[in-house]
Amino acid sequence: MGSKGLLIVISGPSGTGKGTICKALLNRNDFWLSISATTRTPRKGEQHGREYYFLDKDEFERRISSKDFLEYAKVYENYYGTPKSEVLEKLEKGKDVILEIDIQGGLEVKKAYDEAILIFIIPPSIDELTNRIINRGTETEESLRIRLNSAKSEIKCSKKYNYVVVNDTVENAVNKIESIIISEKCKIDKVKEDIDNEFLNN
């Protein structure tokens, strides 16, 4: 039975460890991680075409006008966007696609593509979240304050997501996400066309 792939959106406040979770998820499964475009400057060690497609503002805005993005958002003064054509192509080919994007982007994806599954990663506690952001070592005091405040308002939006996964350990979080994906694939809406084709229309 060959159906379309699942579009899985993974979001959460910065410092929740969603990057680590996505890496572990990709190591263990044959999923495809969409590479976003952004106008922010690359951090040390980041490469064009690996972490992001790093574009300048004019090029990003040109692509907005050409409707090249499934969604885009302004996060901390920079644009971030999900390239549309590659994602839709992979889904058509039956590949499961992971989008690691911010919450406003996740909600936009749901509007554009109703079957998307939105998973919100949440830290075990507010203290844990603060420590994780500080330990990343890339934040100034001001950007830490901005990220914490924005984390709190984002956590409010978790209720608009389909699932919430607490990141107590990476192993637990990845197990839970895999279970969600397996259940979603077994849902009747996902398989009824295949059942008709395979067993009933002959």
**181 lies in the site for ligand 5GP, by CB under 6 A:** no
Least distance (Å) from ligand 5GP to the CB of residue 200? Answer: 40
Helix (H, G, I), strand (E, B) or coil at 129: helix
Q: Are the C-beta atoms of 15 and 123 separated by less than 8 Å?
A: yes
Closer Cβ to ligand 5GP, 103 or 181, answer by number: 103
Interacting span for ligand 5GP (CB under 6 A) from 73-81, 84-92, 140-148, 164-172: 73-81
How far apart are alpha carbons 197 and 194 in whole angstroms?
5
In angstroms, the Cα distances linking 63 to 21, 50, 113, 171, 178 are 30, 19, 19, 38, 33
Least Cβ distance, residue 194 to ligand 5GP (angstroms): 31
User: How many chain residues bind ligand 5GP (CB under 6 A)?
Assistant: 14
Binding segment for ligand 5GP among 75-83, 86-94, 165-173, 184-192 (CB under 6 A)? 75-83
How far apart are alpha carbons 7 and 135 in whole angstroms? 31
Tell me whether residue 28 or residue 136 sits nearer to ligand 5GP (CB atom). Answer: 136
Fill in the amino acid letter for 93: K
Residue number with the shortest CB distance to ligand 5GP?
105
**Shortest Å distance, C-beta 172 to ligand 5GP:** 21
Whether residue 202 contacts residue 12, with contact meaning beta carbons closer than 8 Å, is answered with no
> Cβ 2 to ligand 5GP, closest distance in Å?
28
Q: Which of 6, 9, 14, 173 binds ligand 5GP (CB under 6 A)?
A: 14
Q: Does 36 bind ligand 5GP (CB under 6 A)?
A: yes
Is there binding between residue 81 and ligand 5GP (CB under 6 A)? yes
Give the residue among 103, 151, 146 at the shortest CA–CA distance from 128: 151
- Map residue 48 onto helix, strand or coil: strand
Q: Which of 96/108 has CB closer to ligand 5GP?
A: 108
DSSP assignments along 8-45, one per residue: EEEE--TTS-HHHHHHHHHHHS--EEPPPEE-SPPPTT
Stretch that binds ligand 5GP, among 68-76, 114-122, 139-147, 190-198 (CB under 6 A): 68-76
Paired tokens of 20: 């680590």
Query: How many CB atoms are located within 10 Å of the residue 201 CB?
Result: 8
CA distance 32 to 12: 19
What are the residues binding ligand 5GP (CB under 6 A)? 14, 36, 40, 71, 73, 75, 80-82, 100-102, 104-105
